[in-house]
Each structure stands twice: as structure tokens, then as C-alpha cells.
Structure 1
């Protein structure tokens, strides 16, 4: 009996000791957890305090509810006036920083490229297929795209190979516009589409109506839908990607699958056409033929896919922005007749009225060159890296522009914690350059809301806006020379032969407010407008119509 009692007492003592040890361990872990929580909270407060200034948000949603549906660059501009050149915002758990100075963007994207080389990634972007064309992430395929474009038209000298094509298509544009000036929008879209399709694929677009150009336009509309922030909640809550397509919350997958199929058609049809022509010996030299011939026997399915998506990037990257710029030319000229007259006087003096200007005249037309620069500055085609925020504006921030081969190069994403100008930039923060604010900054451009080409002439010209428009760092637009020559030729030739004037229902002035002269999407266009377009003289009309007899 005594032995049993001693054993029981020993067991009880052991249990008591074990329990005491467990409680001590729990207490210790609790204390450590409290200390860690306090430390973490202090770190968060410290880092939050070091962030750039910005509007105070709400719990959980941050600043999401304060975003406007459109014209985000104007919203960012107002914030700059209140908080400074570098602004911090938070949408749910996503931090973004808005940069309003070119110097700051260069410091981040050039000097610290290794920290900010990539763009944000979103499920709809990947599922729709567009991540393989205009705005892919850095990597071997992205490098090949840029190398291909740079080798074929990466310099102004290389672009000379396409001058004849550009001039021919521009003359068709002038002729079409002379016949039906009320169809300006259609003619501009046909012009940009036909030029790029010819360069990329050797494809001759059908006059007035072309099925492939229309198919691409539909594809670009779907592309815009992917870019419309607020349309797809999965881009804000990636875990929705796990929801099956047949359950509520998974239906976006079916739509993106359709988009992906149509994009594949847009990429494959003209590419396969070129391959068939090459096999038959009837191919027209173009971007695709050059690349396929260069690969020759070493062509693999993987390399072929890179070439195909590269060609698609040229079209997707250039069409919509070129349309916007040429539209803006007509809007601006009718509102600034003194600029139009001065440019026409220079063209008449240098070129004369017996022929159309061409690229050989460019260096002798400094005022026309200044008009082009001012057009780029005045109407910023991609004002910021933030496409349109629709109704749920406030629930999704899709910070991808229309493309890596496009103008601004798109927003960047921090790979690790960083500091800039004394401010803390946490890992995964999205960096947006407000290009519109940079190009309308009164500290850089005097009287920035006035269209004034003279600002780029004389002994002390203002900053060339091409240093803003075509992006920053290694993601600068590789197709900038293609865009440059197309827009310059449209400007010089149109001014040489047309008088562009206000019509009965034309807007009385150009305003930059919400709902004003320009739309509020991520790629902004002139709002619909009417203008009077007529040949300057009988001789000008004869020059325009001479293409009918060739």
C-alpha cells in the first residue's frame, strides 16, 4: 500500500511539473508573441510614417473609394498640388506610389532598374493572352521582341527602309479624306492599320473596308476590356482564380478564354499567310519574312512563337496610339489657326506648292518639327499607367498600360524594399509615372495649357517631350521611330494640302477638365468633334487626287 501511494504521488508530481512546464512555455510564447506584435506594429508604424504623403484611407479598403471612374491623371495632379511630387496611396492591401517628376522616374527606372524591372501581374491579363504581346514581363521572350524590333526599325536610319510605304499610305489617306472629310475617324484608323499591317506582314489592306483591320479593332476592344479596372474582381482577389468556371465568381474564365482564342486568330492568320507566301515564293518582304529568313534552318516552334507574338505586338502597340495622335492634330489645328498658318507658310517656303513634303524635307522644316513635339506634349496619349477605373473603381487597380512596346513603358513593381528621396518604398509597391503631369508641369513648360510650338525653338528650347512620351529606362518604346515618322508625315502632308477649320458644331476651345476635349480612358482620345477639312487650293487638290491616276 505504501509503495502504491508513493508511485501515485510521484506520478502526480511529474504531471504537476509537466503542466507547470507547459504553462511556462505557453506564457513564454505568449510574451514573445506580444513582444513580436509590438515590434511588428512599431515597424509598420515606422515604415508607414516614412512612406510618401498621401490621402488618408479607410480601414481595409484604403483609398479605393476615393478613386474617380476616369481621368485618373487629373486626380493624381490634384493630389500632387496638395501632397507633393511623390504621393502614396493604398488600395486594399496594394500600395502604389505616384511620381510626378521625370527626374524621380529616371532615378527609379534607370539607376535602380534591378529593383524596378517588372510590371504588376493580374489573372485576367494572363488568361486573355495579352501578356504574350504588348506588355509582357522581362524575360527571354521580352528581350527577343525588343531585339527584333530594334534591328529592323530601332533607329531613324533603319526607318528609311519604310519611307516609301509610309508615303504611299499617307497619300491614300489624303485622297480618302479629300473625298469624304466627314469620315476622318475611319480614314485615320485605316491609315494606321494599313501602315502597320504592311510593315509587319506585307499585307495590303483592302480600300475603304478590310475584314482583318476590323477583326483587329474588335480584338483591341477586348484588350481595352481587360485593361478596364474594376471589371474583374479576380485581379484584386487572386484567390478567386481557384473558383471553377461553373461557379459564381468563375465566369470571367470563360470570357477570357474567348478573348484568348480571338487573339490567337489575330496573331496566327496574318502570320500563317506570310509563311504560305514564303513557301510559294510570293512573299512580300516585311518584318516577319526578315525574321523567319534570319532563323532559317534553326527555326523551332518556340522561336516561331516568339516571332509571331512580336509581330502582333507591333500592331497592338502602335495602332490605337497613332490614331489618337493624328486625331489630336486635326483638333488642335482647328483651334489654333495661327499655328496652322505658320506651319503652312514654312512648308510653302521650303517645299513649294507643286509637290508634297517628304522625309527629305524634314530637317528643313523646324517649325513643323516643333508642332509635332508640341502635339506629343499637349495631348498625352497615355497620361499615366492607370487605365480606366469603372464602377467598382474602386475595387481593382490594374496598373498595366497598353504595352511594353508602347509609350510610357507601364508601371513598375518593386522587387524589394527600397528608399528614395528619404521615403520608404515597400516590396511589391506599384510605381506609376504621371506622364500627363510631367508634360503639363509649369516648372518645365511655360504656360503648359497653351499649344505653343515656339517653346521648342530658339537658343533655350524646353524639354523635348519625347523623353517623356516613349518611356523610361530599359523599357523605353522600341517602336518609337515607327510612331515618330508616321505622325510627322501625317502632320506635314496634311498641313501642306488641307485647311482645317472650326465647323458649326466644333468645340469652341480645348479644355483639359473631366468631360472636356479628351476622353478619360487609359489611352485617351480626343472626344468626338467636327471640323471643316478642305483642300487649300485647286493645285493642292490636284496633288491629292494624283494617286487616282497611278
Structure 2
């Protein structure tokens, strides 16, 4: 019998003594009567079972939303988590109480052992994080984001097919190479930042930058070879965060578009005939309204992080009559927000037209990048990059779902089914599951463009 089995057996056979002892635990001394309602709990483990269920964001945004309302809590032996199911509640909670909701929950495994504390997205809200935010804001504001348009290889000045980038991404990609030893994971994470940064730094020092970028621009502004260790740390790890986040968004966009009948946009609303020599760029954005709407709808249907990233409550306060305890985690249920029938007509139907016309529905890009002081500082670059990728694909290819994908959609109830979320990963980020899709060049001009591209 394992050690865990022994513990469970002991607790089961000494339920009275265990219950008495737990009365003095900090968890049970907390008054739970005034916190938001929660699903049924186990007498000892609390809501631990729910935390491990697939598509937890769907469960919280459908079944428990109907039973408990738009503010829900779950409790385990170690933590209380608050879930917010509407745009209004998430905005009020996370943007009007930023002084006490801007931190991240402590996660020793991801932050300390695996090294993700170097990422601006996951780092606790300390002085280094504030400096990271300032560095990112200085180089990623809307005007700067537009200046990256010509290449959109903004972080290091290379594309993902560059040998250095390709090798690093291959090691990090799911299924590409999963190291069995956690120490190797840490080393890969470190090399992800170091390898690419060091090459750009050498180019800056030698005065031979091949392609201006976020990293090269900031290094030059800090004196190149004279940049101090603090500046190098901030530039290196904010750059690594941008590159990984933007790449993921692009993958989600292209995959989500294929899942969601993106072929419609490639055949009708927008005319791409004027781009016979090159793909459309950001200056052409206003001329392609359906493509703009398509990007919005893909992000609504396939938000990159369905439950967002957790915030930490650092001081107790009252919210809509509920007590929000210090130390609680808070998640905005972005999946539920973007399927709220109060804001989106036929919310389970893929329909880019909802964002067109005189009365468009809310832009999902206002919510998928986070809230309050933890909103993604690279949102303008990510938004532009997603649009460029989408427009580029649609200008060259027509999309047709493959037979397996078509059969899967039919088995779920068709294109307007409420169960299409089952086409995405059941845990963590809402990445699409593997699927088959046929891509065909639109015309002779598209074939010529592909044959003559680098």
C-alpha cells in the first residue's frame, strides 16, 4: 500500500479525531458563510474534484452559473478561488480594486522550480515586475506596435523558421520534445531566453543589427555594450515573454479559424485580388472589414486562456454583499463572458458579422488580454500580429474542413452546437485539439506568391 493510501485509510478510520483536529486548522477557522456560493463540497477535500474536471470553465459558466449565479467560489484544503462569469463583474472586481487584486498566487513549482517567475505574465507584483511592465509599455504602446508592422518579427527580428528560433521552439512545443527530467525543463526555459538574446546582443555590440526589433531597440537605448545587468535582465525576459505569447496566439488563431469555417471569409466578403505580389499588411486593415471581424470572432470562440490568469487578493474586502478573503485567487471566466447572451446574439454560433454594421457586439479583444494592472502589455502587438497572420492566410488559401473534422462537428450537433468547445483542449489554455483541414491556393496569383516567397 502506498503512503497516500495509508494516509487516506488513517483519515477514514479516525474520522472523529481528524474532524476535531481540523476544527483548529486555519482553513476551517475562516468563516465561509459570507463568501460567494460554491458547488457541493467533500467534507475534507472541499471542491478538489471540480478543480480536476475537464472543461472546468464550461462547467462554471453553464451548470454552476445557472445554479449559483455569476459569482462562484471553490474551496480546497489550501485555497479559495473566486470565479467571475460576466464582463461587468470581472471589470468591476479587477479594475476598480487594482490595489488589492494585482498580484499572482504563489506557485512554487512554476515560478521557482521551473523558472516562470522571470515572465512578466506570471511574476508576483513586486518591484521587478513593475519595472518589467514599464519596459514593456515603453516599447509596445499602440504607436510602437504599428511600427513593427512591416516585419512582425518584433521580439528578436527573426521569423520562427530561423534556425535559432526553430530549434528552441521545437524543444518547447507540446509533443515536440518533452523532457522527462524537470531539470532539463528548467534548462530549456533558460536557453529559450538566453540563446536568442545573446545573438541579438552581439549584433548590437558589433553594430550590425540585421532587423530592428524590440530587443535590439531597447539594448541600443540602454547603451548597447554598456547596458547594466538589471537592464539586460529586464530586456531579456520581457522579450522571451512576448515571443512565446505572440507565437501561441498566432497558432490558436490559425487553428481556430480552420475549425470555425474560416473558408467563408476567404471566398466572399473581402477582396484580396489587389495583393498579387505580396500579402496584405497593417496599412490595408481598414479595407478588409470582414477579416477584422473574423479575427474578433475567432478570439471570442477560442480565447487563448478560457479562465484567464489568476489574480491574488492581498487584502480582504466586500464585493456585491460577499466577503472576499485575503489570500483568495480570482479568475475571470473569459469563456463564459464571451458567450453571454446579454451581449452576444446566438453566442454559440460562429458569425463574424456580429462585429460589423452600425451596432457591433462587444470586441472580445478588450477582455482576452486580462484585466486591471495585469492586462497583457503586448496586446497591441499580439492583436496586430494575429490580424496580419489571418489576412495573409486568407489572401493565399481557401480552407475546407477535412473529413474527420467534419464528422466530429456533426457528432457534436453541427456548427451551431453548444458542444463545439470539445474541439479544444479540456485543460489549461484553450488550444484546438489536432484536426484535419484542406488548404488550397486561391488562384494563380497565390501560387506565384507561394513559389516566390522566402
Give the gaps of 5 or more residues in structure 1: 1-36, 167-194, 227-253, 386-409
Q: Distance in 2 between matches of 1:260 and 1:43?
A: 38
Q: What are the residue-to-residue correspondences of 1:160-239 with 2, within 5 Å?
A: 160-166=146-152, 195=153, 199-203=154-158, 206=161, 210=163, 212-219=165-172, 221=174
CA shift at 1:355, angstroms? 5.7
| Residue 46 of structure 2 corresponds to residue 93 of structure 1 | no
CA shift at 1:206, angstroms? 4.7
| Residue 74 of structure 2 corresponds to residue 74 of structure 1 | no
1:286 is matched with 213
2:293 is matched with 370
2:395 is matched with 496
Q: C-alpha offsets along residues 437-494 of structure 1, whole Å, 9 cap, x if unaligned?
A: 0011111101011111111122221111111111111211111111111211222222
Question: Is contact 1:514–1:520 with CA below 8 Å preserved after alignment?
Answer: no
Q: Distance in 1 between matches of 2:170 and 2:442?
A: 33
Q: Count matched residues.
A: 419
Give the gaps of 5 or more residues in structure 2: 1-22, 410-414
1:479 is matched with 378
1:539 is matched with 445
Q: Distance in 1 between matches of 2:318 and 2:174?
A: 39
Q: C-alpha offsets along residues 386-424 of structure 1, whole Å, 9 cap, x if unaligned?
A: xxxxxxxxxxxxxxxxxxxxxxxx211111211100011
1:269 is matched with 195
After the TM superposition, list the runs of 4 or more consecutive aligned residues in structure 1 that deviate by more than 6 angstroms: 40-43
Q: C-alpha offsets along residues 175-228 of structure 1, whole Å, 9 cap, x if unaligned?
A: xxxxxxxxxxxxxxxxxxxx3xxx222346556xx3542323423659x999xx
| Residue 137 of structure 2 corresponds to residue 150 of structure 1 | yes
Question: Is contact 1:383–1:434 with CA below 8 Å preserved after alignment?
Answer: yes
Q: What are the residue-to-residue correspondences of 1:424-503 with 2, within 5 Å?
A: 424-503=323-402
TM-score for both structures, normalised by structure 1: 0.70
Question: Is contact 2:279–2:395 with CA below 8 Å preserved after alignment?
Answer: yes
Question: Is contact 2:50–2:56 with CA below 8 Å preserved after alignment?
Answer: no
CA shift in 2, pair 1:273/1:383, >3 Å: same
CA shift in 2, pair 1:288/1:357, >3 Å: closer
Q: Distance in 2 between matches of 1:101 and 1:527?
A: 26
CA shift at 1:305, angstroms? 1.5
Q: Distance in 1 between matches of 2:251 and 2:159?
A: 19
Q: Distance in 1 between matches of 2:183 and 2:252?
A: 29
Taking only aligned residues, the RMSD between alpha carbons, in angstroms, comes to 2.9
* Structure 2 counterpart SS, 1:310: helix
2:44 is matched with 60
* Structure 2 counterpart SS, 1:533: strand
Q: Distance in 1 between matches of 2:37 and 2:284?
A: 50
CA shift in 2, pair 1:513/1:71, >3 Å: same
Q: Distance in 2 between matches of 1:148 and 1:287?
A: 10
* Structure 1 counterpart SS, 2:453: helix
Q: C-alpha offsets along residues 327-351 of structure 1, whole Å, 9 cap, x if unaligned?
A: 11122235xx54543334x445xx4
Q: Distance in 1 between matches of 2:301 and 2:348?
A: 7
Question: Is contact 2:145–2:381 with CA below 8 Å preserved after alignment?
Answer: yes
Q: Distance in 2 between matches of 1:379 and 1:76?
A: 17
Question: Is contact 1:507–1:529 with CA below 8 Å preserved after alignment?
Answer: no
| Residue 185 of structure 2 corresponds to residue 259 of structure 1 | yes
Question: Is contact 2:266–2:397 with CA below 8 Å preserved after alignment?
Answer: no
CA shift in 2, pair 1:490/1:318, >3 Å: closer
CA shift in 2, pair 1:343/1:333, >3 Å: farther
Deviates more, 1:469-478 or 1:537-546: 537-546
Q: Distance in 2 between matches of 1:413 and 1:330?
A: 36
Question: Is contact 1:505–1:530 with CA below 8 Å preserved after alignment?
Answer: yes
Question: Is contact 1:333–1:340 with CA below 8 Å preserved after alignment?
Answer: no
* Structure 1 counterpart SS, 2:304: coil
